[in-house]
């Protein structure tokens, strides 16, 4: 593309080191290896291994190598990179061309990789990472000479924002503040974890399996006895059901105890240290600057008692287990503010005093799930013989859930601090400085346009997306405009 704007001075386009051909070709070969093996084995089937098969295999391998080499040459020829005053540019692809501009200040890491092929040719593979979503590095240069790597590192190093390199002048070291999860709290957390949804199918399958096994034995050993083990009266079904439920609950409790036993969180300077676990102690150290938001999760079994779980959304920690993003496994809703003030004052806020969505929106929350319930009920009524019209009552829990969602939905924006609350099963409140939003959106369906209602959605990190449905349009528009971010509010 010859679209050079005057303010972006770019160096000349550079290719990879010629050894890149070998690296790229081997990559292509590795990608094709499995299908080729399948073709070979399919050719073998029925005829067995003879000289013909060997010749065919050799021919196949030859063709594959040639094709991979050609692919390597083409990929090498079409891959270029350029260093500019402020930007790193990368271009690749033939059938699908992709050109990437990475502002040098946004580069988080320049990782080098030296696989066997790269070592053989004395070159280095380079992965340039930004904080952008996606697991893969944003720019992958599979073979660069040592000189090119140095040039790349220099360019990136020179453009790093100076404010980030030296830490703030050493403030008097603050005392380490620490919170520990007590035994009673752990027990309550386990009792109210409500991970039943995940475990129930497993336990049910297990019960079925055991049932089958025992029934088999019984039938063999004692004739008709086995029949008594499969439930055939309503009472027996209820008994079996409660047994399964109890087992699921116990497993879920054990899981919580194992995960969160000895949970401790400490604030030490600009980092949070979180350690937990009964069998394997896990420790995580999170830079406070990367905490984007706090999530207050009130599970179905916890909300009635005013209890909640506190999570943090950490930028760039997407791959970590969710438990690693737990700030505190169980506390009272009213204690949220206090704990945050102590450990994370940067994001401290309380999950209350939120503005509700308008009353007239209630039916819009209730209607869709009610209709979904009705449709499911109608299908059941038609398909299950003898069910009668009773399944149609599924519309009621649907409507109930919708109304609960309506009651839970809310928002608040005060002093640049945003709180957004919604419910799926658990009621979740996200607390975040408005300045840490990644993006936000205002949307209206056709029906909402007529009713002058609108949805507001905010995205805070890779995993956190808060959405309030059916706000009054003027309210939604004001919120949308107020959330505009003009400069970095973080102190530098």
Partner 1 sequence: MEGALPEPQRRLAPAARWLWRLEGALGALVALIAAGVVDAATSGWPGPAAWLAALLLVVAAVLVVPELRWRRWRWEVREHEVDIRRGTLTITRTLVPMLRVQHVDTRRDLLEQMLGLATVVFHTAAGENRIPALPLHEAGLVRERIAELARTADEL
293 near partner 1, judged by CB under 8 A: no
35 near partner 1, judged by CB under 8 A: no
Instruction: Read off the tokens for 24.
Output: 């790229």
Task: Determine contact, residues 402/409, Cβ cutoff 8 Å.
Answer: no
| Interacting residues with partner 1 between 126 and 165 (CB under 8 A) | 130-134, 138, 161
415 near partner 1, judged by CB under 8 A: no
459 near partner 1, judged by CB under 8 A: yes
433 near partner 1, judged by CB under 8 A: no
Task: Determine contact, residues 283/272, Cβ cutoff 8 Å.
Answer: no
454: left (phi over 0), alpha (psi -120 to 50) or beta: beta
Question: Rounded distance, CA 184 to CA 443, Å?
Answer: 45
Nearer to partner 1, 137 or 244 (CB): 137
Nearer to partner 1, 50 or 439 (CB): 439
Residues ≥6 apart with Cβ < 8 Å to 189: 181, 256, 260, 309, 329, 330
Residues ≥6 apart with Cβ < 8 Å to 173: 269
478 near partner 1, judged by CB under 8 A: yes
106 near partner 1, judged by CB under 8 A: yes
233 near partner 1, judged by CB under 8 A: no
Tell me whether residue 479 is exposed, middle or buried, using C-beta atoms within 10 angstroms of its C-beta: 0 to 12, 13 to 18, 19 or more: buried
Question: Rounded distance, CA 363 to CA 451, Å?
Answer: 12
Nearer to partner 1, 19 or 460 (CB): 460
User: Out of 11, 31, 105, 368, which residue is the one contacting partner 1 (CB under 8 A)?
Assistant: 105
Piece of 186-194, 295-303, 373-381, 474-482 that binds partner 1 (CB under 8 A): 474-482
Nearer to partner 1, 142 or 461 (CB): 461
Task: Determine contact, residues 231/215, Cβ cutoff 8 Å.
Answer: no
User: Out of 42, 96, 223, 386, which residue is the one contacting partner 1 (CB under 8 A)?
Assistant: 96
Terminal C-alpha separation, the chain: 37
Residue with tokens 């929106």: 361
Nearer to partner 1, 168 or 447 (CB): 447
Total number of residues binding partner 1 (CB under 8 A)?
59
109 near partner 1, judged by CB under 8 A: no
Question: Rounded distance, CA 432 to CA 421, Å?
Answer: 12
Q: Residue 161 CB, nearest distance to partner 1 (Å)?
A: 5
449 near partner 1, judged by CB under 8 A: yes
Q: Residue 14 CB, nearest distance to partner 1 (Å)?
A: 18
Task: Determine contact, residues 45/95, Cβ cutoff 8 Å.
Answer: no
Instruction: Read off the tokens for 180.
Output: 């520990």
* Binding positions for partner 1, rule: CB under 8 A: 1, 3, 5, 7-8, 86-87, 95-106, 130-134, 138, 161, 292, 315-316, 437-446, 449, 454, 459-462, 464-465, 473-474, 477-478, 480-481, 483-488
């Amino acid at each position: 593309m010859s679209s050079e704007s005057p303010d972006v001075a770019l160096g000349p386009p550079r290719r990879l080191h010629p050894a890149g051909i070998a690296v790229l070709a081997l990559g292509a070969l590795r990608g094709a290896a499995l299908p080729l093996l399948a073709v070979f084995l399919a050719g073998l089937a029925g005829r067995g291994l003879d000289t013909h098969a060997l010749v065919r295999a050799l021919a196949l391998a030859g063709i594959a190598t040639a094709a991979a080499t050609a692919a390597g040459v083409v990929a090498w020829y079409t891959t270029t990179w350029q260093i500019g005053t402020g930007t790193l540019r990368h271009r690749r692809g033939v059938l699908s061309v992709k050109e990437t501009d990475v502002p040098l200040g946004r580069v988080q890491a320049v990782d080098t990789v030296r696989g066997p092929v790269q070592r053989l040719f004395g070159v280095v593979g380079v992965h340039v990472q930004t904080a952008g979503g996606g697991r893969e590095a944003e720019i992958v240069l599979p073979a660069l000479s040592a000189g090119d790597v140095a040039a790349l590192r220099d360019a990136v190093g020179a453009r790093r924002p100076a404010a980030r390199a030296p830490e703030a002048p050493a403030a008097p070291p603050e005392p380490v503040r620490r919170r520990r999860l007590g035994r009673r709290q752990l027990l309550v957390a386990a009792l109210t974890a409500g991970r039943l949804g995940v475990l129930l199918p497993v336990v049910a399958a297990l019960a079925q399996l055991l049932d089958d096994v025992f029934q088999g034995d019984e039938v063999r050993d004692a004739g008709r006895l086995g029949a008594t083990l499969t439930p055939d009266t309503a009472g027996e079904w209820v008994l079996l059901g409660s047994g399964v439920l109890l087992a699921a609950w116990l497993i879920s409790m054990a899981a919580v105890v194992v995960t969160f036993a000895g949970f401790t969180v400490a604030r030490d300077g600009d980092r949070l240290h979180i350690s937990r676990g009964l069998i394997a102690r896990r420790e995580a150290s999170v830079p406070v600057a990367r905490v984007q938001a706090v999530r207050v999760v009130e599970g179905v079994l916890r909300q009635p008692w005013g209890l909640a779980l506190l999570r943090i959304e950490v930028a760039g920690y997407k791959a970590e287990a969710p438990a690693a993003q737990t700030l505190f496994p169980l506390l009272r809703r009213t204690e949220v503010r206090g704990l945050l003030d102590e450990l994370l004052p940067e994001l401290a806020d309380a999950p209350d005093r939120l503005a509700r969505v308008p009353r007239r929106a209630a039916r819009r929350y209730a209607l869709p799930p009610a209709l979904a319930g009705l449709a499911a009920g109608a299908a059941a009524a038609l398909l299950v013989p003898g069910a009668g019209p009773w399944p149609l009552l599924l519309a009621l829990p649907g409507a109930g859930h919708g109304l609960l969602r309506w009651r839970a939905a809310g928002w608040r924006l005060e002093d640049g601090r945003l709180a957004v609350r919604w419910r799926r099963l658990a009621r979740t409140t996200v607390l975040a400085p408005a300045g840490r939003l990644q993006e936000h959106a205002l949307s209206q369906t056709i029906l909402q346009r007529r009713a002058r209602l609108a949805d507001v959605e905010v995205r805070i990190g890779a995993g956190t997306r808060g959405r309030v449905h059916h706000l009054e349009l003027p309210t939604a528009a004001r919120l949308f405009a107020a959330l505009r971010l003009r400069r970095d509010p973080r102190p530098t």
